[in-house]
Chains A and B, each alone.
Chain A
Amino acid sequence: MAVTVLDSLNHALDHAMDTDSRVYLLGEDILDPYGGAFKVTRGLSTKFPERVLTTPISEAGIVGVANGMALRGLRPVAEIMFGDFVTLSADQLVNHAAKFRWMYNDNVRLPLVVRTPMGGRRGYGPTHSQSLEKLFLGVPGLKVVAPNALGNPGDLLLAAIAEEDPVLFVEHKLLYTRPLLEPGQGELADYEIQEFSEPYTSYVLRIPNYAPCLTIATYGYNFELARAAALDLMMEHEAFCELVLFSQLSPFGLQPLAASLRRTGNLLTVEEGTLSLGWGAEVAARCVEAVEGLRVRRVAARDLPVANAKSLEDAILPSVQDIVNAALELVGR
């Protein structure tokens, strides 16, 4: 059976706990046999009963306790059951985790990972479907990392656990059951893929021997939609795209995106968070400052809560067709 994103994350946690007794997991309903709402921690409480702590429904408490553990030498990995609930721990992330090292003049380190599933398309409605990572982008001292199905999500998680500073690790729900993508194989067979900036790898994908007219920048699950759109643009419109896939959302460097934009002159950002004042807005602004003559469009969720009914949810969240339409408008076709 193919290795899924879920397997990859679960194996990474297992490996981290096996090789480092400072690693603790804490979160709601993470004990076996249930193993967590999305099963990322399945099997771990059986194997490491002393270090897998099931908590009350207390998101501020979970992240606060994890902060104290991290300040005093452990490496806690906290799970927030749904990303929507991360707002309940916002004070701990913003006013505690992200600040302590700098505010205490680098006297301390805070090796914390907060993992949480974000995203919709499962019909969970307004408070269990959001992509709220945009609220935590640009917080000084807090890294935001999002795995995707390319590369190895477990390696990203291990890199986050190895950090000396706090990381918010955003897992899109629809990724969990996806098999890992292999460069040069299957859906990626036509692409030439370059990797950049370890440990949170960014990727540039291009079709060799065809001049690209557009760069699509995205992260997480929306890479799946962006690839489908790129295929459509190539087959139906003979428009070739470069895809730039981010793993580290905040803080972020302009390369390799800026180099791609110098080749294509057109940037399309794709995200599942709401459009206004979001990830794509900041990426676009930074790129426009750096790349002369750049043209930009953003595809994102409508500025509405995510509805429960499928017809409404589909209309609110970005679709492959939305990406194709925006791309065609951007390149003038």
Chain B
Amino acid sequence: MSDYFSLYKTMLLIRRFEERLLAEFSTGKLVGTTHTYIGQEADAAGIFSVAGADDVIFSNHRCHGHFLAYGGDPYRLAAELMGRATGLVGGRGGSQHIQWRNFYSNGIQGGIVPVATGMALVEKAQKTGNIALVFIGDGTLGEGSLYESLNIAALWTLPLLIVLEDNHYAQTTPSEKGVAGSMTGRFAAFGIPVWERETADVLEVRLAATEAIQRVRSGAGPACLLLHTYRFSAHSKGDDPRSPEELTRIRQFDPLNVHAKRLPSAEIEQAETEVAPVVNDAFARADADPFPSLRDY
């Protein structure tokens, strides 16, 4: 199948998985909270189509899309979200705290960045040729440990790519109330080059990611991939202050629609046909799995 098809299918898998996830909250099969990736799919699909198989990934609270694009198992993710013993981390972590192979996530804003910096140091010290990628958002720009990490990563020429997904809102707070000055200027101050794109086109993301990753892998030090994007859903579940007009406007920038124009309609249908059973199977199997217990402690 074509490369374009595969990018589309990755984005569609994320979209359908997240839609199903939100739907399962109303059936009572999911409790707690979650942060969906709907609207931002082009970022993960584009980046992971060019990241190295052994690169180290540190993701954040909004990690499902990153994990699925990384190649993670939708069933193990669904099981984790539903609090089952078969989940990625046995039900201990839930939506924001997952780990599989070289993929890690944590729900603390900013705190993950120095950790990813240390991971990059290991890849450099061991001369593996791998890099570390850490995903942050516009909201993370308020956290001090981000800047400590940028300073250290630049001083020590570490192979770290900071992926900044600016979806314009830190939970309910718009960037203009949370981010002073320039986003790119923050990185420039540390001598860290920025690839900046305002796009919902997965091919544009992929091209920028290719260049930024190449730069980091070359040993030239950290880089930033700054992607201005839109999330279509609430931050988590019931916290969306945006007007219907704004939501309608941003829905024009749907990465699935942008990329679908490049595919024959038969492939669009095929993608739906292939993704639907994967998502159904993930949630149905997870629903039949046992809950974990504390008996081992």
* Cβ–Cβ contact B116 & A68, under 8 A: yes
Give A121 to B231 CA distance when docked, in angstroms. Answer: 55
* Cβ–Cβ contact A64 & B144, under 8 A: no
Chain B residue nearest to A59 (CB atoms) is B148
* Cβ–Cβ contact A61 & B148, under 8 A: yes
CB-CB under 8 A from A67, the residues of chain B are 114-115, 118
Verify if B278 is at the interface (C-beta below 8 Å from A). Answer: no
Verify if B236 is at the interface (C-beta below 8 Å from A). Answer: no
* Cβ–Cβ contact A64 & B104, under 8 A: no
Verify if A49 is at the interface (C-beta below 8 Å from B). Answer: no
Query: Of A64, A76, A96, A100, which contacts B117 at CB under 8 A?
Result: A64
CB-CB under 8 A from B56, the residues of chain A are 72
Instruction: Knowing A64-B145, A72-B122, say if A108 contacts B115 (CB, 8 Å).
Output: no
* Cβ–Cβ contact B108 & A105, under 8 A: no
Restricting to A87-127, which residues have a CB under 8 Å from any CB of B? 91-92, 95-96, 99-100, 102-105, 107-108
CB distance from A41 to the nearest CB of B (A): 18
Verify if B106 is at the interface (C-beta below 8 Å from A). Answer: yes
CB-CB under 8 A from B156, the residues of chain A are 53
CB-CB under 8 A from B50, the residues of chain A are none
CB-CB under 8 A from B123, the residues of chain A are 72
Query: Of A55, A71, A74, A91, which contacts B125 at CB under 8 A?
Result: A74
* Cβ–Cβ contact A61 & B152, under 8 A: yes
Verify if A73 is at the interface (C-beta below 8 Å from B). Answer: yes
Give A72 to B108 CA distance when docked, in angstroms. Answer: 19
Verify if B99 is at the interface (C-beta below 8 Å from A). Answer: yes
Verify if A69 is at the interface (C-beta below 8 Å from B). Answer: yes
* Cβ–Cβ contact B119 & A72, under 8 A: yes
Q: Give chain B's interface secondary structure class.
A: helix
Verify if A60 is at the interface (C-beta below 8 Å from B). Answer: yes
Query: Of B89, B148, B151, which contacts A103 at CB under 8 A?
Result: B89
Verify if A58 is at the interface (C-beta below 8 Å from B). Answer: yes
* Cβ–Cβ contact A65 & B89, under 8 A: no
CB-CB under 8 A from B108, the residues of chain A are 91, 95-96
CB-CB under 8 A from A50, the residues of chain B are 125
- Which of B88, B99, B115, B125 has the largest count of A CB atoms less than 10 A from its CB? B115
Verify if A66 is at the interface (C-beta below 8 Å from B). Answer: yes
Give A55 to B90 CA distance when docked, in angstroms. Answer: 37
CB-CB under 8 A from A60, the residues of chain B are 111, 114, 144-145, 148
CB distance from B54 to the nearest CB of A (A): 12
CB distance from A93 to the nearest CB of B (A): 11
CB distance from A90 to the nearest CB of B (A): 10
CB distance from B31 to the nearest CB of A (A): 18
* Cβ–Cβ contact A105 & B90, under 8 A: yes
CB-CB under 8 A from A92, the residues of chain B are 111, 114-115, 145
Restricting to B115-133, which residues have a CB under 8 Å from any CB of A? 115-123, 125, 132
Instruction: Knowing A68-B115, A104-B97, say if A95 contacts B106 (CB, 8 Å).
Output: yes
0/1 interface trace, chain B 131-169, chain A, CB 8 Å (1 if under): 010000000000011001101100110000000000000
Give A65 to B112 CA distance when docked, in angstroms. Answer: 9
CB-CB under 8 A from B106, the residues of chain A are 95-96, 100
* Cβ–Cβ contact B151 & A64, under 8 A: no
Instruction: Knowing A56-B152, A91-B111, A104-B99, say if A65 contacts B92 (CB, 8 Å).
Output: no
Give A154 to B56 CA distance when docked, in angstroms. Answer: 34
* Cβ–Cβ contact A61 & B89, under 8 A: no
* Cβ–Cβ contact B99 & A64, under 8 A: no
0/1 interface trace, chain B 68-101, chain A, CB 8 Å (1 if under): 0000000000000000000011101100011110
Q: Which A residues are closer than 8 A to B by beta carbons? A: 50, 53, 55-56, 58, 60-61, 63-74, 76, 91-92, 95-96, 99-100, 102-105, 107-108
19 contacts between A and B (CB under 8 A): A53-B156, A56-B152, A64-B111, A64-B115, A65-B118, A65-B149, A69-B119, A69-B121, A70-B118, A71-B104, A72-B119, A92-B111, A96-B111, A103-B92, A103-B97, A104-B89, A104-B98, A105-B92, A107-B100
